[in-house]
Chains A and B, each alone.
Chain A
């Protein structure tokens, strides 16, 4: 078997907008964090958006409408891809400062999804550090932004909320059903029964 059978997950969408009260001039980076059974077949794994200013209306939104487009293939839903978004912005001294980390799983059902991610940043470990971080313009940030997509090591951090970010996804899947993963309500009604199990079922019945 040269190529193992895979299912495909096609994600297109956009980083629509965000709310970061108190900040301005924000841009985002994003990356996908996924398990070992996943591979990206097309599209960008990582990217960076343009810098946006907040709107001058009452909402004060940051609008990017930055497209995300990636196709994954996978053999197992374990390690389902997650979108990790980290926003940066210029601070008063003109240095790039991280403004928030956010993460969400790629929706697991096909269709259009609009998600609102809370964005947060790690807190300084002490008040003094906070002060110096502010002075030096080097706020604490994650060594690896993918940390937010994992559970490991999170217990040592304390975070503070920064705002929200809206992402929309259009999800298309292929061959999920074929491989026996029922995700749609219609699928669930007619569940896929693996051959072996079906055999035993009938055996029991008879």
Chain B
């Protein structure tokens, strides 16, 4: 094996290039390296052992070399013919192999051929031999297939290829390879062996060895070859695609491997060289030869003994092929046998390899026995045949397959499946079906597999949506809108419909029957013409002649009939006679009728003739008169003479006849009348007789009755038969009744109206008749002898030329010649064409003779002519409009005749010339006296017809037409409602009718319902529905009832949240499941609901009132909230989009100005900071920054020795260090503490005061360091953290913070507590105490809304501070009134407060509110305000404010003098009264609007609302105060402006004798406008009931301003001369209701007072829980007395005398304390205020406290609360 490998290796070396080129060498890495390694190691070992041998052989080889070479060359030449690329071979092999596997016999055959071929190829004996050898070795390999392969290889070695391999003959690679280089020596050896035959044993052995090695090599080659093939095959068959990459990879590997082998080879060569060098030194050539040829062949020795038997076998096998060649039959058996042998061999081999190579067990890759596998596979696997099965097999039961497609069924295209695969499938199914018997299910009737038609479509059903490519396929394509008008003016439904329709309008001529330019002659001539034409037409008709003839004929026949009747009278039956007589009567009436007609005709003719003659005469006279002739009319009368006698006879005859007829007629009439008369007379007589008889009968009956009455009474007695009697009685009764009846009848006869007595008819008056007829004849008929006249009209008269005419006539003629006419043709009201202007001829005719073709698209509705007349210029005037009839579709331009259409104009035209004008009365100058008025009139000769197309067809729309009709039908066709109305739809009959008319297409699916319905299918569809359903399916989706849903807790919460209910607004994570919702979720809400609906039960009037107020507030708040919520959801563009405003000139100007401004680095301006939204704040702290700059005018300690006090002198001792603590003693001072002597203060500086500022906010405190003196400078920045509930920094929650920033000023006092003075030198024992001096309270909201507060503030100091006084030294002597205020106890603090980071503000309430004000007023107000704000953006201007109803109210309405409370009225001193009023107002608690209402909205409540609520912000206070002042007769204004610390605020300005004062209504303080420390920073406007004054001055600080309101350059008024105050009614009540103060009230106040006191005491004890708190009752008593006093003077500086008591009593105490005054709101605010002063903070037990509370109740529950807290420390 090793040997083989080595050989192979060498071969590979040699083959390198070729293989590389072919790219097929594909050994796996492991295998190869292994091989190489083995080969290498072997070469080493063997090389050593066989050196001697090698030398020997070398010698021999040398001898044979030359021979060999020559042979080799020869063979090569032969082979070169056959050489082809190796892969061809392998490819070929593969196919062959496949075939051979299946068709063993074939292979055998081929083998035969091969054998033959081999024999043929013996020429190249060596190769073939070798090949066979190889083949033999191959056959030893386990796989039988390989065996075959090798056989095929052999085949291919044959130069002449067998038939099944048509490719050009190839030499197998192994053979070739051997042939190339390594082959020669063995060949040589073989030949020698063959030739010589006898060789020595050893030699033979070597020979054998060589043979063996050669064989082995061939075998190896074959093996590798096969391996390669197999691998290739596998690759190709399994993964066709991957082959390439594999190959590539392999190539790489190969390259690598080859490189390596190359290296190895070199190394080996070197080694062998070394070895050789050790043994002996061959020549260069020798060594070369040796290395190149010989060294491969010697390593056999080790193997020889073991391989002995093998060899033999191989030898045997060597011969075997030959045997096979001859005996193909035996081959199989041999193979079978060989299999077993091979297996054994293989095992041997393995054993051998393992044994021989020591510890390193290098195994060949384990392989299953392929043969076993194969046979097992053969058993298990089923290979269906790809031969097509006959259809007969597949169709079960049926004899013949059916082809549906041929029968016309649609059979889809079946998906393509390769035939081979299909037949395999079929085969498989068939084979399986032999066991399962279900083949029929798989095959269709046509014997094919049942296959669904190919579901794939060629074209994609939707366009591929590629992201990036532009998609033209689904682009929107623009189509022009198609006009489809249901009014169907268009014939084809649209403008550009297909049809071509044309109307031809022929305008031929116009002739005027009257024209305004007619002269009189023309009028007459025209009249004459008319009459003549009438006459002519009558003559033509000859009506009278016809009637005359008819008359004579009638007469004749009547006569004949009469005669006939007379002659045959006897013979005729009655009926016939009647008949004849009736005929005769008919004749007669006919005759009279005809005669009447004839008479009429004759009369007309005669009058016509007369008027002709008359007119002509007139004309003639006119012509004579005017001396010229205007018209060519000429009448000639032809006379025809007649015979007078004849005429007369005729006349008479006619008269006779007529008379006779008349008479006859009359007689008939008379007879008829006579008969009637007779009849009536008879009736009359008869009636008279009847009456008489009736009378008689009645009297008879009466008599009879009486008689019968007596008879019956008699009979009753005498009668025997009672029955009979009874009957008789009954009869009598009946008789009686009948009598009665008859009586009645007779009575009726008597009573009947008596008939009138008839008159006999009159007899004929013959004479009168004759006269009548004669008169008629005279009037109507030509008299006898009168000539017959025939007028003949001709135009033969010559018209006189213009020159002969009068001037007027000349003008007229000129006008006529100037006049032109044209006709416009309007189609459907639109002008479509017009004729050219044509001149009017002198005889007033215009000829056009034009035909206009109108191509129409609309249905013709009207064709109108408009006749215009122009005088040569301009468009002229409309003479007349006339309509032409729309032609019938049968009327075409070929068949139409011109028609005359008459027209006339109603225009009045009058001329100065001879023209008669139109519509104007004129007179003929001749003998015609009467006036004539004629209108311009004439006829238009024209025609309208449908045009005829080239094809002779009329261009008429095919459908019926006619304007109105058409439009209606068109509409009706499309819309049943239009056709029959909505009600008609429900009427089936109407609908049917409409359906028939509209000719709907019954096949149109749109009409399906109607057709179905009308065809009688379902009449119910037509019946109107009796119900109405909005959402018929709604119920199906109701998962729960409405109640259930509303009961749901979760639903409730979500609803409330959505409604932005304050409790639930922003409620996060509403639990998903109802059971997870906390049970008490709604508790708070429900509680609140309860509270709102019912008053909470509280004790005490005050609380009750408070509760009411709260309720009321709540209501307002709700309303405002609702409004605000609504408004906040109405966004404007500014709310949503940030957009820069367009810069205008002023903006640019200011920015330019800013550039030129001088830079002032020493005056830095605070930069506006960026606002931070709540979201951005997450996790950050918000701080309040307070920068305390300085304080001024701080009260100083009173430091007076007790001795001094005793002396009562007003002197101030020099405070030294030793008595420092004594300075704190409470020392009563009767006078001001000012040192009159002016002791230098410098020395006592430290002792005066040591103030510091402490800021408390939300119970956290920070303080500055201690300052020095009354005017300390701190310059310290204090920080306080803002604590917001729930960390919600949204504006809505921030604005609700009601915390107050307390800025307290304290004096830091060091108290020496050292008991023993002896220790003084060594010990220091001091206590630091702080004494409250004053405070400033700033609500957080003020800071929040103003963002920063900057300035100098007045510190609220108590009215008196025990132990402190003001250092009067600072007040400049001789200072103005303003300065003196300082002495009154005002300290000032300069500071700057802001929030860091700057927080965003809530959105201002910008909604334009509803208003009840007049539109005009609001408009002006807006404009006025906008104008001012533009000018002074920083000033506050207000015109309208929002009231509690959420409506805009004009601000002046808030002012009205209101009677102040009784307390004020009680004051006599006006100044005092004002102060009291201010005091009263200031005691009403203050609550910022922002805390009450959401957003930045400012609500102004009216005074009564304010009083009711008892809380409000600056505006309410100020308004109330203003109103009080107004009531007190002061001039007062509400001032809007900015103040510190409030920001935007409202003050009251009063004017008293040119002294202006500003009142802070909130605190009750007043300032002079000249006060520098006035908190007002800017004044915006002043308002009162009369007007609004806007500040337009340069300055806005009150001290700099001019308060002369009449000065228009300083103050701009809202109402002015142009816009007067209309006196708007005030919204304020006329007066406020003040509760009377009674005992109950007093007790209530007292109760409150006690409660407060109690509470405060408790609190203080609570605060000082570490120490004992003692209460000094005595002090409290004194203080209680003091407090009402303070209230009385409104908290001003108290007179010292009042304090004396206190001072006296507590000489032995160091007392520090102060009174606090605040309006009563609730307990907590009082506690807070006390706490902030820190009185309790005396960290020692030996302190006593005094607490006095005084509540002063004003009217309407306004409370002023005074709290006096003091601490007393006993002096030692």
Query: Do A and B form a real pair?
Result: yes
CA distance A98 to B1663 in the complex (A): 58
Are A75 and B1133 in contact, with the CB atoms below 8 A? no
**A2 to chain B: closest residue by CB:** B1076
Could you tell me the distance in whole angstroms from the C-beta of B645 to the nearest C-beta in chain A? 113
Are B1137 and A136 in contact, with the CB atoms below 8 A? no
B753 within 8 A of A: no
Could you tell me the distance in whole angstroms from the C-beta of A36 to the nearest C-beta in chain B? 5
Given A36-B1057, A156-B1131, A142 and B1136 touching (CB < 8 A)?
A: yes
Could you tell me the distance in whole angstroms from the C-beta of B1041 to the nearest C-beta in chain A? 10
Are A6 and B1069 in contact, with the CB atoms below 8 A? yes
B1075 within 8 A of A: yes
A187 within 8 A of B: no
Are A153 and B1072 in contact, with the CB atoms below 8 A? no
Are A37 and B1069 in contact, with the CB atoms below 8 A? yes
For window 1057-1075 of B, CB contacts with A under 8 Å fall at 1057, 1066-1073, 1075
Of the residues B1067, B1073, B1075, B1137, contact of A122 by C-beta under 8 Å: B1137
Are B1073 and A5 in contact, with the CB atoms below 8 A? yes
**B1057 to chain A: closest residue by CB:** A36
**B1066 to chain A: closest residue by CB:** A36
Contacts of B756 in A (CB 8 A): none
Contacts of A76 in B (CB 8 A): 1054, 1070, 1072
A110 within 8 A of B: no
Are B1072 and A140 in contact, with the CB atoms below 8 A? no
CA distance A38 to B1068 in the complex (A): 7
Could you tell me the distance in whole angstroms from the C-beta of B1066 to the nearest C-beta in chain A? 7
Are B1131 and A138 in contact, with the CB atoms below 8 A? no
For window 165-187 of A, CB contacts with B under 8 Å fall at 179
CA distance A152 to B1073 in the complex (A): 29
Are B1069 and A140 in contact, with the CB atoms below 8 A? no
Q: What is the size category of the interface that chain A forms with chain B?
A: 35 or more
Q: What is the size category of the interface that chain B forms with chain A?
A: 20 to 34
Are A156 and B1133 in contact, with the CB atoms below 8 A? yes
A125 within 8 A of B: yes
**B1140 to chain A: closest residue by CB:** A138
For window 48-72 of A, CB contacts with B under 8 Å fall at 59
CA distance A39 to B1066 in the complex (A): 13
Which of B1067, B1073, B1076, B1137 counts the most A-chain CB atoms under 10 A from its CB? B1137
Could you tell me the distance in whole angstroms from the C-beta of A57 to the nearest C-beta in chain B? 10
CA distance A119 to B1143 in the complex (A): 29
Contacts of A147 in B (CB 8 A): 1136
Given A1-B1078, A156-B1132, A142 and B1070 touching (CB < 8 A)?
A: no
Of the residues A36, A74, A196, contact of B1067 by C-beta under 8 Å: A36
CA distance A37 to B1053 in the complex (A): 12
Could you tell me the distance in whole angstroms from the C-beta of A124 to the nearest C-beta in chain B? 7
Are A4 and B1076 in contact, with the CB atoms below 8 A? yes
Contacts of B1039 in A (CB 8 A): 197
For window 385-401 of B, CB contacts with A under 8 Å fall at none
Contacts of A133 in B (CB 8 A): 1139-1140
CA distance A37 to B1073 in the complex (A): 13
Of the residues A74, A75, A125, contact of B1139 by C-beta under 8 Å: A125
Contacts of A59 in B (CB 8 A): 468
A203 within 8 A of B: no
Contacts of B1137 in A (CB 8 A): 122, 125, 140-143, 156-157
Of the residues A5, A37, A179, contact of B1070 by C-beta under 8 Å: A37
Contact with A along B1025-1050 (1 / 0, CB 8 A): 00000000000000110000000000
Of the residues B1057, B1070, B1131, B1136, contact of A75 by C-beta under 8 Å: B1070
**B1403 to chain A: closest residue by CB:** A143
Q: When A and B form their complex, what is the total count of cross-chain residue pairs whose Cβ atoms lie within 8 Å?
A: 94
B1203 within 8 A of A: no
B1135 within 8 A of A: yes
Are B1139 and A153 in contact, with the CB atoms below 8 A? no
A154 within 8 A of B: yes
For window 1108-1142 of B, CB contacts with A under 8 Å fall at 1129, 1131-1133, 1135-1142
CA distance A150 to B1129 in the complex (A): 12
CA distance A107 to B1072 in the complex (A): 21
Contacts of A6 in B (CB 8 A): 1069, 1072
Are A39 and B1069 in contact, with the CB atoms below 8 A? yes
Contacts of B1138 in A (CB 8 A): 140-143
**A35 to chain B: closest residue by CB:** B1068
A205 within 8 A of B: no
Could you tell me the distance in whole angstroms from the C-beta of B1172 to the nearest C-beta in chain A? 14
Given A4-B1071, A37-B1069, A75-B1069, A152 and B1139 touching (CB < 8 A)?
A: no
Could you tell me the distance in whole angstroms from the C-beta of A102 to the nearest C-beta in chain B? 16
**A73 to chain B: closest residue by CB:** B1069
Contacts of A136 in B (CB 8 A): 1140
Of the residues A5, A128, A156, contact of B1136 by C-beta under 8 Å: A156
Are A36 and B1139 in contact, with the CB atoms below 8 A? no
Are A128 and B1142 in contact, with the CB atoms below 8 A? yes
Contacts of B468 in A (CB 8 A): 59
Are B1139 and A140 in contact, with the CB atoms below 8 A? yes
Contacts of B1136 in A (CB 8 A): 122, 142-143, 147, 153-154, 156-157
Given A1-B1078, A36-B1067, A152 and B1140 touching (CB < 8 A)?
A: no
Are B1129 and A152 in contact, with the CB atoms below 8 A? yes
Contacts of B1078 in A (CB 8 A): 1
CA distance A76 to B1051 in the complex (A): 12
Could you tell me the distance in whole angstroms from the C-beta of A130 to the nearest C-beta in chain B? 10
Could you tell me the distance in whole angstroms from the C-beta of A74 to the nearest C-beta in chain B? 8
CA distance A39 to B1039 in the complex (A): 29
Could you tell me the distance in whole angstroms from the C-beta of B1140 to the nearest C-beta in chain A? 5
Contacts of B1133 in A (CB 8 A): 125, 156-157
Could you tell me the distance in whole angstroms from the C-beta of B1079 to the nearest C-beta in chain A? 10
Contact with B along A1-23 (1 / 0, CB 8 A): 10011110000000000000000
CA distance A142 to B1143 in the complex (A): 20
Which of A5, A37, A128 counts the most B-chain CB atoms under 10 A from its CB? A37
CA distance A152 to B1130 in the complex (A): 8
A47 within 8 A of B: no
Contacts of A129 in B (CB 8 A): 1139-1142
A132 within 8 A of B: yes
Could you tell me the distance in whole angstroms from the C-beta of A145 to the nearest C-beta in chain B? 11
Are B1140 and A1 in contact, with the CB atoms below 8 A? no
CA distance A9 to B1071 in the complex (A): 16
Contacts of A140 in B (CB 8 A): 1137-1140
Are B1131 and A153 in contact, with the CB atoms below 8 A? yes
Contacts of B1066 in A (CB 8 A): 36
Which of A59, A75, A129 counts the most B-chain CB atoms under 10 A from its CB? A75
Could you tell me the distance in whole angstroms from the C-beta of B489 to the nearest C-beta in chain A? 40
Contacts of B1069 in A (CB 8 A): 4, 6, 36-39, 74-75
Given A36-B1067, A152-B1131, A197-B1039, A124 and B1139 touching (CB < 8 A)?
A: yes
Sorted nearest first, the 5 A-B pairs with minimum C-beta distance are: A153-B1131, A4-B1071, A75-B1072, A140-B1139, A1-B1076
28 contacting pairs across A/B (C-beta < 8 A):
A4-B1069, A4-B1072, A4-B1073, A4-B1076, A4-B1077, A5-B1071, A5-B1073, A5-B1076, A37-B1069, A38-B1069, A39-B1069, A59-B468, A76-B1070, A124-B1139, A125-B1137, A125-B1139, A132-B1143, A136-B1140, A142-B1136, A143-B1135, A152-B1129, A153-B1135, A154-B1136, A156-B1131, A156-B1137, A157-B1133, A157-B1136, A196-B1040
Binding site for B on A (CB under 8 A): 1, 4-7, 36-39, 59, 74-76, 78, 122, 124-126, 128-129, 132-133, 136, 138, 140-143, 147, 152-154, 156-157, 179, 196-197
Binding site for A on B (CB under 8 A): 468, 1039-1040, 1054, 1057, 1066-1073, 1075-1078, 1129, 1131-1133, 1135-1143
**Given A36-B1067, A140-B1138: 16 more A-B contacts, CB < 8 Å:** A1-B1071, A6-B1072, A36-B1069, A74-B1069, A75-B1069, A125-B1139, A136-B1140, A142-B1137, A153-B1135, A153-B1136, A156-B1131, A156-B1133, A156-B1135, A156-B1137, A157-B1133, A157-B1137
